[in-house]
Amino acid sequence: MRRSGCSRRLPRALRALALTPPVVLTLLAWPGMAAAQPCPGKGAAVQVLGSGGPELADRRASSAYLLWLDGKARALVDFGGGAALRFGESGARVADLDAILLTHLHADHTADLPALIKSSFFEERTAPLPVYGPVGNKFMPSTVTFVRTLFDSTRGAYRYLGEFLSPLGKDTYKLKPYDVNPRELRQGVIHENGRLRIAAAAVAHGQVPALAWRIEAGGRSVVWSGDMNGRGEGLATLARNADLLIAHNAVPEGAGGVERSLHMPPSVIGAIAAEAKVKSLVLSHRMLRTLGREDETLAAVRTKYTGPVQFANDLDCFVP
């Protein structure tokens, strides 16, 4: 796995201003700024739209990823706060997406979904857009209930966007939400269309229903852990021999209490990557409690896993 070889560049809006060099340097020094790193036009690649967690002070968009295939964004995994801006900066189009995949329904993984759907009104999409996510329980709604709560034309929070869900509406494509229970699926596969093969596995994220995802495309395989505490065999089985595992580095080594019941520390990430024999590892969902501790994190991962490891930033592109 490698980062895209393309050099970083200023967003188009800044280039158009023809700013003098000192002003450009000042803007580039602003910590909240991310520069788009285009993914290759051929083969499969993953672009990190959001490398952060729920904190705003980390100056990162929350969890979101694009799977690119031959120059088109084909799958979206999570879409937390700030991801809508990054989606636009990436050059992706909702019209090209084959599926939206949600690891779970916490706000830092779903908050910008309404902005994405509203923006898609200005594109020319006609095919239904499936939205796959976990089943519900007493703590969280199911994915179907979640999407309907947002967009139902009579009761939804964004009912003015109800045509995207209502079968009676004729002016837009339709969202098709699905609850995914991996135990009911053959080999965990939920979607195949000739371009992508998408599979899921249940993972443990405290009491919140959660999924890990695997996409096979262009002869490569990528797995997203989502938020999870590392318990159970779901992720290691799903990630077997994957070209790239994107794991969430939300807690440091030695974490305990509630945060440990929700997230896996670096040594557990390394152990799962080693057990699954993944070819490369990217650490994302980087929170304030792990930012600045990269050496410590890497050392803990290395106690179990010896393959390539990289840390994600917004708009980074990784080629498996």
pLDDT in tens, 275-291: 999 999 999 999 999 99
Specify which residues 204 forms β-bridges with. Answer: 209
pLDDT value of residue 168: 84
Residues found in the chain: 320
Q: Which residues of the chain are under the pLDDT cut of 70? A: 1-37, 186-187
pLDDT value of residue 24: 30
Rg for the chain (alpha carbons), in Å?
19
Owner of token pair 């285009």: 38
Ordered by where they begin, the domains of the chain are 40-319 (3.60.15.10)
DSSP code string of 67-89: EEETTEEEEEEEE-TTHHHHHHH
pLDDT value of residue 35: 64
Are 133 and 202 in contact by the 8 Å Cβ rule? The answer is no
Cα(299)–Cα(318) distance, integer angstroms: 22
pLDDT value of residue 3: 63
Name 271's Cβ contacts closer than 8 Å, sequence gap at least 6: 230, 304, 305
Cα(59)–Cα(53) distance, integer angstroms: 10
Are 292 and 57 in contact by the 8 Å Cβ rule? The answer is no
pTM (2 d.p.): 0.89
pLDDT value of residue 294: 97
